[in-house]
Amino acid sequence: MTKSILTKWFIATAFAAPLFFAAQANAVTANCSPGSTCVVSGGDTALEKERARQEKEQWDDTRSLRQKVNRRAEKEFDKVDRAIDVEDACLKSSVVTAYWEPNTQRCLDANTGREVTSGWK
């Protein structure tokens, strides 16, 4: 007896389930008519939060890398700029025998070969 009741219940459920889901689909589509606002989900799913976290982490890493590259370029520029200023000062110095050594980037005395430390800085 119970077997026949269970069989009838499964058959009824099998026929009723598609109708139930069709009714739910109609309810959703009724709210999403053209010209109306349709909200499908709240946008706070775990996957979206994880994706946002990863994008922020990537953005922070990229920003950090850009800052390092910019600092390095600025440091190199300052180094070259300083060398140009020192060379100009050496060439304009009151020491007549002073000359600029480009390989070592120092101001040297032509007579002694030693670095000139006074009269030009």
- 5 occurs within a structural domain: no
Q: State pTM to two decimals.
A: 0.46
Contact 106, 99 (CB under 8 A): no
- 96 occurs within a structural domain: yes
% of the chain with per-residue pLDDT over 70? 64
- 114 occurs within a structural domain: yes
Q: Residues, the chain, total?
A: 121
**pLDDT (tens digit, 9 = 90+) per residue, 21-59?**
555 555 445 566 777 776 666 667 899 999 999 999 999
Q: For the chain, what is the domain count?
A: 1
- 23 occurs within a structural domain: no
- 107 occurs within a structural domain: yes
> What range does the domain containing 82 cover?
55-121
- 49 occurs within a structural domain: no
- 6 occurs within a structural domain: no
- 36 occurs within a structural domain: no
